[in-house]
Structure 1
Amino acid sequence: MTAGLDRHRRLDYETHREFHPEPPRHTVEEIVAMAEAVDLRGRGGAAFPFARKFSAVVAAARRKNAEVVVVVNGTEGEPASTKDKMLLLRKPHLIIDGALIAADALNAVEVVIGVAEGHMAQNSIIAAVEERKLDGYVRVVGLPERFVTGEGGSVVNGIMGREAVPRGRGGRTSDSGVRSLPTLLSNAETYSQLAILSQYGPDGYAEAGAPDEPGTVLLTIGGSAMRPAVVETPTGVPLATVLDICGAVVGDGVLVGGYHGRWLTPVDAASVPVSRKSLADVGGVLGAGIIVPLGGETCPLGETVRVTSYLAAQSAGQCGPCRLGLPDVAYLLKDLSDGNGSIEAVRWAAVGTRGRGACSHPDGTSRFVLSALDTFKDDISQHLMNGTCGRPVYGLLPIPADDDSKLRLVVDWTRCQGHGLCAKLFPDRVNLDAHGYPVISDSPVSNSLLPQARKAIEMCPALALRIEEG
């Protein structure tokens, strides 16, 4: 997939064809057979078998006698991942090749590419579409760059001009997606993999990688890496080798699979190969190929608190587990970091969000938090004994910078009765004076703090708090 990038910053169409010839046309049966032969899986995080998804779209179209839409999910709302943006920015024609291979076999009425609005990758893929004179058949749609935008239902909603939030657990995109038509939706790397599979065939594709999981994967290596990069590696290569290439120190652990993934201990990270099965065997997950080693200088619990607060703020707010449960988890985890809480309370709150949400966001956040509790036991013990582990939080787990919020927390003094609950629920902006009444900080309430603010407002016994702009 990265062929040519050692010589070219971006491959235009002519240069792209030097490395990737015009793909042959394939029937539905041929694509299914090729994908099954190498067990091609989606690379957006869920690792769903591509052949099954493709077949489901075909079956739905025949059953409903309906046309088909092909959608490329290039939104990549996960802050720790840049692999899809790299492909969109530097090898956009490989993505288009894969999408057109699928669209031709399905006789699709259009191809839609969803990307993060305003990112350079959006301009790159638009230019590629124009270069190939595909305007009118291939459409590029900019979507808000938020964590939940990357969920399949969110992408479909955004393409349809609605708010880009998950549609809930009911219904499948393969049955009813864009314009209520059967829709083949996969991420940018998946379509690039399909293009490579078409180019080399199953036998050539399987020459790289492990026998049971052939091919290569794209990994985004960040965190403590001295040379952070998107790396293409054959499956089966030791994770330690990839980390060494990027100059990464493991330290307390390695996050695999992103913010809906799991933490690996240093021992497991030193021995596990890069593959879905190998990572699953040690309690990890390959997911979208995100690898974040922590190093030994930053506080792992503090890093987990930052990301959990971010995830709570990034929810769609459509159901109880997102609107109330995730802010609770973030608050209890912050309390634990301050040495005042308990592991059991955090665990109970995180477990309580699982399986009850309208989408997978609560489940993924719970998985991330529970994994941190198991992996960072020694660090948590230090916090409980001393209120800190003595290490600062360097922010090695990336989250978007807070926006220029103009929101302020305001207290209605005609209602306030001095219960003091707001200071407990929102310590970042509320303190108590000597008489137990709230002293509200004049600092703005950023997006990452909105869940805590809303929780304080909802739980105030006197209904004395509100959010105002300006």
Structure 2
Amino acid sequence: MGTPRLLAGLDRDPRLDREAHLAAHGPLPRYASDELVDLAADIDLRGRGGAGFPFARKLRAVIGSAREREGQTAVVVNGSEGEPSCLKDKALLLHAPHLVLDGALLAAAAVGAEEVVVAVTRADVERSVRDAVAERGPGGRRVRVARLPERFVTGEGTAMVGGLNGGAALPSGRRVRTSERGLGGVPTLLSNTETYAQLAVAARMGAPDYRAAGLPSEPGTVLLTVAGQTVVETPTGTSLAYILDLCGTRTGQGVLVGGYHGRWLDPGAARSADVSRGSLSAFGAVLGAGAVLPLPEDTCPAGEVARVTRWMAKESAGQCGPCVRGLPGLADVLEDAVRGGGRGALDAVEARLRAVRGRGACSHPDGTSHFVASALAAFPEEFRDHALGSGCGRRIVGALPLPQDESPPERLVVDWTLCKGHGLCVDVLPDVVRLDADGFPAEASMPVPGHLRPKALRAVRRCPALALRIQE
């Protein structure tokens, strides 16, 4: 929306090689160390990976640590993006990798680093970055591409540094500042892909022109991933509802902002909010990694949230009690509530949330518990109706994206030669079965989520005509 900056040139070429990159953006100017710090401070550049930490402060911290120790420094590009609802950093590294490398090399010159490491988790992203490095030819600072496991927690700072240092890509559980001790034990500047791309754009434009777009208090543009599939560049201050409309979707039942460690906005708040830290904070939300997930009217909110919670429990580091026991336990009681476990099940969810909060070795337990708590506050009637047995009658359509399962889900199959339209199946399994106008199942084959398999078996057993079966 508006004049593209990060995405400039992609209307003509699907991927900008070195030549196309220079044609779209021009040559990269040189900056002295203090000049680059001043530029980052002047445009209030914040980390675009979730925490929103001021980039100028990171630069100063690494420069200061290096001076105190009179040693080496390193620069790391966090291109892991382990959350399935986020695609913006993958999009940059696949389609505009030279812009990211420009920003990282500018930062490396400022902190005196001899090497830049780009950490990725996907094979296609790795190939794209390696191709970009080769296109630049020999000379200058070394750029190394490293492949790490594709997991949600890989992007956490100590997890990434641990993986790059040859260990497990898991959070250390210690409050270690990478600006003091990071890659190879040296002061390390670590930030995400979009942050470095924004730095490269600002270096070419200069602070006054960069600040011409967006809000005076939050200048520039941001990248958003809308509905887990569309990457959009927008000036800050743009209406969230307007962005959803341009992407062909609506606020629906609500909008999850910030991904699976984010917060839910009800439809009214989503229609009122702008894309800015100030606007979203007024509604108790943060932009985080830029994921914007509207929930359509035809899906089950409780089922969608339970499905993500189970995945988040599996994606934990597995190193402390809140991760090993707390998150799987939270997923268990939440699924029990969605299956009709009664008021006691909802009380158990609240108890699990209290037990997890503030006790994890990293932010994953807190982030997941806040996601669930926000959903309970946004959809109280949905969770209550499910817990008390009536449910909502809607299926789970996967509006909150998760990685593809290794094996396809089981399916509930109707034998039309036997079905008499008794309708008992929809009473048992309202989240899977819908009836048509004549009272028969609307579909002959329906996917059954794993957590609903017990109910599917009950539906098969209860069918008087023996017209149902479960098929892999």
TM-score between both structures, scaled by the size of structure 1: 0.84
User: Is there any run of 5+ residues in structure 1 with no aligned partner, and where?
Assistant: 406-425, 432-442, 444-470
Q: CA distance change for structure 1 residues 375 and 97 in 2, over 3 Å: closer, same or farther?
A: same
Q: Counterpart amino acid of 1:13?
A: R
Deviation sequence 1:375-395 (CA, Å, 0-9, x none): 011211221333421111111
Correspondences of 1:313-324 after superposition (within 5 Å): 313-324=314-325
Shift, 1:30, TM fit? 1.2
1:163 and 2:164 matched:
no
Structure 1 residues 149-158 or 240-249, which shifts more? 149-158
2:132 equivalent to 1:131 = no
Q: Distance in 1 between matches of 2:279 and 2:375?
A: 20
1:59-458 alignment, distance < 5 Å: 59-118=64-123, 120-134=124-138, 137-222=142-227, 228-340=229-341, 341-403=344-406
The Cα of 1:115 is off from its aligned counterpart by 0.6
**Local SS of the residue matching 2:147:** strand
Alpha-carbon distance, 1:54 to partner: 1.1
| Shift in alpha-carbon separation, 1:299–1:56, aligned structure 2, 3 A | same
- Partner AA of 1:281 in structure 2: A
**Is the CA contact 2:33–2:109 (under 8 Å) kept in the aligned structure 1?**
no
Distance in 2 between the 1:243 and 1:134 partners? 44
**Deviation at residue 360 of structure 1 after TM alignment:** 0.7
- What secondary structure is seen at the aligned counterpart in 2 of 1:211? coil
Which residue of structure 2 lines up, in the alignment, with residue 462 of structure 1? none
For residues 173 and 117 of structure 1, the distance between their equivalents in structure 2, rounded to whole angstroms, comes to 24
Cα shift at 1:429: 8.2
> Which string of whole-angstrom CA distances, capped at 9 and with x for unpartnered residues, describes residues 263-293 of structure 1?
1100000111101111111111100100000
CA distance 1:160–1:403, change in 2 (3 Å): farther
Query: For 1:263, what is the secondary structure of its paired residue?
Result: strand
Are the aligned partners of 1:326 and 1:353 in contact in 2 as well (CA < 8 Å)? yes
Q: Given residue 192 of structure 2, which amino acid in structure 1 is its aligned partner?
A: N
SS of residue in 2 equivalent to 1:386: coil
Structure 2 CA distance for aligned equivalents of residues 296 and 428 of structure 1:
21
Q: Deviations over 1:125-165 (max 9, x none)?
A: 10000110258810000111111111111111121221111
Higher mean C-alpha displacement, 128-137 vs 284-293: 128-137
Structure 1: how far apart are the matches of 2:454 and 2:273? 45
Post-superposition shift, 1:117?
3.5
Question: Relative to 1, partners in 2 of residues 1:7 and 1:67: Cα closer, same or farther, differing over 3 Å?
Answer: same
Match of 1:435 in 2: none
Moved over 4 A (4+): 426-431
Q: How far did residue 348 of structure 1 move?
A: 2.5
2:20 to 15, 24, 39: 15
Distance 2:95 2:295 in 1: 28
Which ranges in structure 2 are unaligned for 5 or more consecutive residues?
1-5, 409-449, 456-469
Given residue 137 of structure 2, which amino acid in structure 1 is its aligned partner?
K
Cα contact 2:104–2:116 (8 A) shared by 1? yes
Q: Quick one: structure 1 residues 381 and 252, their matched pair in 2 at CA, closer, same or farther if it must change by over 3 Å?
A: same
CA distance in 1, matches of 2:214, 2:380: 35
User: Within 2, Cα distance between the matches of 1:71 and 1:383?
Assistant: 46
Partner of 1:41: 46
Does the CA-based 8 Å contact 1:95-1:191 persist in structure 2? yes
Check the 8 A contact 1:160/1:178 in 2, yes or no. Answer: yes
Aligned to 1:459: none
What are the Cα deviations for residues 271-321 of structure 1, in whole angstroms up to 9, with x where unaligned? 111011111111111001000001100001100001000000000100011
Tell me the amino acid that sits aligned with residue 285 of structure 2.
G
SS of residue paired to 1:362: helix
Distance of 1:116 and 1:256 partners within structure 2: 24
Instruction: Quote how far apart the aligned CAs of 1:427 are.
Output: 7.3
Asked if 1 retains the 8 angstrom alpha-carbon contact of 2:74 and 2:186, the reply is: yes
- Distance in 2 (CA, whole Å) between partners of 1:258 and 1:372 is 12
CA contact (8 A) 2:76 2:119 kept: yes
Indicate if the aligned counterparts of 1:343 and 1:373 stay in contact, CA closer than 8 A.
Answer: no
The DSSP-based 3-state class of the residue aligned with 1:214 is coil
Q: Percent identity?
A: 53
What TM-score do you get using the length of structure 2 for normalisation?
0.83
Distance 1:427 1:98, change over 3 A: closer
Q: Could you tell me whether the CA contact under 8 Å between 1:250 and 1:296 is conserved in 2?
A: no
